[in-house]
Amino acid sequence: MGAGELVEQWAQPAFWAVVLAVLSVFFLSLAAILFARERSARRELSTVDSRIDSRLLESLTTTHEPVVVVNPEGVMVAASDEATTLMRISCDELIAGGLDAVPVRFIDESNLALEAARVFAPRESSGSMILAVVAGDEEPQWLRAHYSVYPSETGSFTAIRFLDASRLRAATVALRQSDERFRMAMESSPVGMALVDLNWVVLEVNQSFADMVGTTVANLRDTSVSGIVHPSQFAVLRNSIGRLVDGDVTRVTHEIEFMVGGRSVWAVTDIAVARAANGQPDHLVIQARDITEIRKRSEDLARRAEHDSLTGLANRASFERELSAALAAGGASGRLAVLVMDLDGFKRLNDRFGHSAGDDALRYFSSVLKAVATSPAIPARLGGDEFVVLVKADNAEKVATELAGAIHVALRAPFVVGRHRVPIAASIGIAALAGEAPRDAEWLLSAADAAMYRAKAAGTGRTEVHASDLDDRAAAHAALARDLLAALDAGDLMLHAQPVVDLDSRGVVGYEVSLRWDHPRLGIVDPAEVFADYADEVAPPDLTIHLIEKAAEFLARGPAPTAWAMVSLDEASIAEPTLGESIVDICGRYRMATRRLVLSVDQELVSRGDRDLEAAVRALTSYGMPVIADSVAGAGLAEKVVAAVHFDGIRSSASLAAALPAAREATAACAALAVWSAALGVASIAAGVANESQARALAKAGWQYAMGWHFGPAVPAESVHWTPSSAPTRLLGTPPVSPDHGAFI
Instruction: Indicate if 49 belongs to the active site.
Output: no
CA 722 to CA 708: how far, in whole Å? 19
Q: What angle do CA 350, 354, 360 make, to 5 degrees?
A: 75
342 three-class SS: strand
Dihedral sign, Cα of residue 13, residue 15, residue 17, residue 23: negative
- β-bridge mates for residue 343, sequence order: 426
| Residues 431 and 452: beta-carbon distance below 8 Å | no
Rounded Cα distance between 291 and 265, Å, is 8
> Burial, 170: exposed, middle or buried (Cβ in 10 Å; 0-12, 13-18, 19+)?
exposed
On whether the CB atoms of residues 680 and 715 are closer than 8 A, the answer is no
Strands 113-114 vs 105-107: parallel, antiparallel or unpaired: antiparallel
The β-bridge partners of 127 are 147
> What's the CA gap between 636 and 649, in Å, rounded?
15
357 membership: H or E segment, kind and range: helix 355-372
The alpha-helical segments, DSSP class H, found in 497-634 are 527-532, 542-556, 571-575, 579-589, 603-607, 611-621
What is the residue type of 237? L
Element (H, E) at 337: strand 336-344
Burial of residue 664, with CB atoms counted within 10 A of its CB: 0-12 exposed, 13-18 middle, 19 or more buried: exposed
DSSP H or E segment with residue 370 = helix 355-372
DSSP category for residue 418: T
The residues, ordered by sequence, that sit 6+ positions from 683 with a Cβ below 8 Å of its Cβ are: 626, 628, 648, 649, 650, 677, 704, 705, 731, 732, 744
Q: Which of 385, 483, 502, 602 is catalytic?
A: 385
Q: How many residues comprise the chain?
A: 745
3-state secondary structure of 632: strand
Are the CB atoms for 66 and 165 separated by under 8 Å? no
CA distances to 351, 417, 729 from 420, in Å: 15, 5, 55
**What sign has the CA pseudo-torsion 569, 571, 573, 576?**
positive
d(CA 144, CA 109): 11
Omega prior to 561 cis, within 30 of 0 = no
Query: How far, rounded to the nearest angstrom, does the alpha carbon of residue 452 sit from its chain's CA centroid?
Result: 47
Buried b (16+ CB within 10 A) or exposed e, 294-317: ebeeeeeeeeebebbebbebbbbb
Q: Which residues are catalytic?
A: 385
